[in-house]
Amino acid sequence: MVDKISARDAAAILAIMPTLPAPILVEQLDATGLVSSATADVGITLRCYTGQFSAPEYWIEIQFRNLDLLNSDWGILKSKAQLNVAEDIVTPITVTAARGGFLHSNLELRYVIYEDLGGVAGDLSEYSDPAPFIVDRYGPYRAVNDQNSRPPLKVVLPATLPSPITLTYIANNPTIPGNVLPNNFTEAVGQFADGDMVQLFLGPDMFNKDDKYKVGAPFPMVGAANTPFVFPTSAFTTDAIQYLYYILTDKSGNDSLPSIAEPLRVSVLDPPGQGQIFIPLAPSPELGSTDDLLDNDDFQKVIEARVRAYTNPQPTLDQIEIKWGSQPYSLLTPATAFDVVFRGAALNALIRAEYGVRFGPQLVTVLYRILRGSEIFPSNEKVINVDLSVPGPENPGDPGTPNINLPPARFFGRGTPPSGQDILRDVDANLLVDVEISIWTVGAPPQAGYNINLVRPDGTIIQPPQPIGTLIQGDILKFTIPWSDIEPGGNVTQLFHYIVTGPGTTNPNISPSTPVQVIDAVTQALPPPVFQRLTSGEVRCTSLVDIPGTTPPDHYAEVFVAGDTRMVVGRKLTLNARVFRPRTGTPLVTQPFSTDVDITDAIRLSGFTFRLPYRALLIYLRIGTLEVTATTTFSDGVVGRGFASVGGRSVGVNAYCDKELVTLTTP
């Protein structure tokens, strides 16, 4: 195809008309002279007529002309070769393609017969009419510059096609209608041509041309309109995402790229087993339980609704949502692992919305459903009771929380001097405590059967209950509690509240807490302090110990506090002392004194001896009384207290122990 005919031969051809019939292209696919790409790769065969009067020694040459070029000259496709056949027959002439095959082209072919001149080709004798020869090397959507080629448009499937495609859908729909969109490629070589065929594929990836992924036989593509097809659903045999795509093949056998794929989720597994939701706080009738009630206490414990493992799960497909009573399905959750647990604020909101403002236990139906693509599998129903109500005023907060519509209780000790509201001191110890509760003024008033119980910080209900059915809103309920209900809480701020109970519901209505400050009022006994060196049972001058080197002379008395295993190392052991005179009646003179020491292991085991100073304290006795109190705080906050009292003298006849005269200006 690179040689040109000689100028002499060209001139001779121009001088005569074709006298031979056009060659017959054996491999042509249609009258246009189109051959397959496979043929173009190896070569062609032309059937040429030798003429009535030729001789075997005559020569034949195959010529071509490129019709894509204006004023194209004829060139040599196959050089001259002797016929070696008789006259008046049609003989096949084979034209072998050069390496790489015939290029993409639009040609016409003819043959020329030359006379023989002593074993070489002589002058041109006659030539044939031309025959078309077309080589198409570009498939649909292909470009001359292959980088500009692109995949065909993806198929169009019904918008109602479910995802996933399930066994149920396949059983009811043997085929799926679809369309291949028209070829809209802009480059001519890749545009639609008659004979373009469509081959559908369904495979695990988007570009696999393996024959095993072909679905059905190829079908012809329509030109300017959509090309309809029906896809057999029997091709869906695997649970997976499968890709539906196609490849266009033109008449020459040139393929397009695989089209853009349409991913299809397919699920041909058995349906999931039908279970029942499990509510751990209302498990009846499982394990013999009769508890089918969710109440306020359960609400505070955190209500759970569990979907347990069922048969035939599909973790990558299944999603679960819950339906609580008349509330819509919600809380969609992937079922990637079991149990699937619904809990927390979102579930609580459903429970409260369903219960509303009703009173007492209410029946509720709870179920879940599994969403597997477009398929829905509902569970069996579970019926339980729910009670979020309370007797008395409605609680605007969460069920089971303190109700701000209930006034807090008030506490008063009976000691002297009064400690004040919600404060209890040592003067109140071992006495009754007065409690006052104002009846709420919001909502409905108390009804018959309503009671109030005070509740200690540890949750213990103080008995007996206080009936309030005859009280009206704004009344004050007054009652007392024994010190024994205070004492276990120790010397801390104790939080007391009360509950309102009544018929129709087992839920208590819980008041806000009252912080009651208990200050050094809860005590346990320490061994009484022991005065040292008493004379006739009294502290006298002979009981004093001299302090050497003091001017004027000073002294002290000793008080021993025994060790106690309840003492806490590192805390203080305090000794408070007081002297007053006279010994009886209203004291005219009092003098306090306090000292302390850090408790050590030695003190805890063996005790400690305190010194009471003479001049700062004991001199004020004259003839009076000396009281001492040892205190410390135990690990549980309780105050340990030991008390001792003794008569004493800091004078002799007319002078103090240090012989200083007693005057109006002396202590």
pLDDT in tens, 534-555: 999 999 999 999 999 888 889 9
Alpha carbon distance 583, 605 (integer Å): 35
Q: For residue range 381-438, what is the model confidence (pLDDT) as tens digits?
A: 999 999 999 999 999 999 999 999 999 999 999 999 999 999 999 999 999 999 999 9
Q: Where are the beta strands (DSSP E) in 491-550?
A: 493-501, 509-510, 514-518, 523-525, 530-531, 545-547
Q: What does the pLDDT average to over 507-527? A: 95
pLDDT at 611 over 70: yes
Domain positions in the chain are 3-135, 151-267, 286-386, 410-521, 525-649
**Residue 3: its pLDDT value, please?**
60
CATH level 3 topology of 525-649: Immunoglobulin-like (2.60.40)
Q: What is the pLDDT of residue 125?
A: 83
Residue 2 confidence (pLDDT) above 50:
no
Tell me, yes or no, if the pTM score tops 0.75.
Answer: no
Q: Which residues pair with 367 in a beta bridge?
A: 323
Same fold, 3-135 and 410-521: yes
Q: Which CATH superfamily is domain 410-521 in?
A: Immunoglobulins (2.60.40.10)
CATH node for 286-386: 2.60.40
- Show the tokens assigned to 538: 């009294």
In terms of DSSP bridges, do strands 293-294 and 382-386 run parallel, antiparallel, or are they unpaired? parallel
pLDDT at 652: 87
Q: Is the pLDDT of residue 8 over 70?
A: no
Give the type of residue at 197. Answer: M
In percent, the amount of the chain with pLDDT more than 90 equals 83
Q: Say whether pLDDT at 654 is over 60.
A: yes
Superfamily of domain 3-135: Immunoglobulins (2.60.40.10)
The CATH number of 151-267 is: 2.60.40.10
Residue 240 pLDDT > 70: yes
Cα separations in angstroms, 117 against 57, 58, 83, 123, 124: 9, 9, 14, 8, 11
pLDDT surpassing 70 at residue 249: yes
Predicted confidence at residue 665, as pLDDT, reads 77
pLDDT band at residue 4 using 50, 70 and 90 as cut-offs: low
Residue 658, pLDDT score: 85
Write the CB contacts of 256 (distance below 8 Å, at least 6 apart in sequence).
139, 140, 141, 142, 151, 152, 190, 247, 248, 249
**Is the pLDDT confidence value at 208 over 70?**
yes
Q: What is the pLDDT of residue 6?
A: 66
pLDDT at 111: 97
Per-residue pLDDT, averaged over 172-197, amounts to 94
Give the SS3 label for residue 433.
Answer: strand
Taking residues 49-61, report their average pLDDT. 94
- Say what percent of the chain tops pLDDT 70: 98
Residues 550-601 pLDDT 10s: 888 899 999 999 999 999 999 999 999 999 988 877 778 788 999 999 999 9
- Based on its alpha-carbon atoms, the radius of gyration of the chain, rounded to whole angstroms, reads 56
* 380, 367 contact by CB (below 8 A): yes
Q: How far is CA 155 from CA 49, 158, 196, 229, 456, in A?
A: 50, 10, 16, 10, 75
Q: Is the pLDDT of residue 13 over 70?
A: no
- pLDDT value for 1: 43
* Ramachandran category for residue 51: left, alpha or beta (phi over 0 → left; psi -120 to 50 → alpha): left
Mean pLDDT of the chain: 93
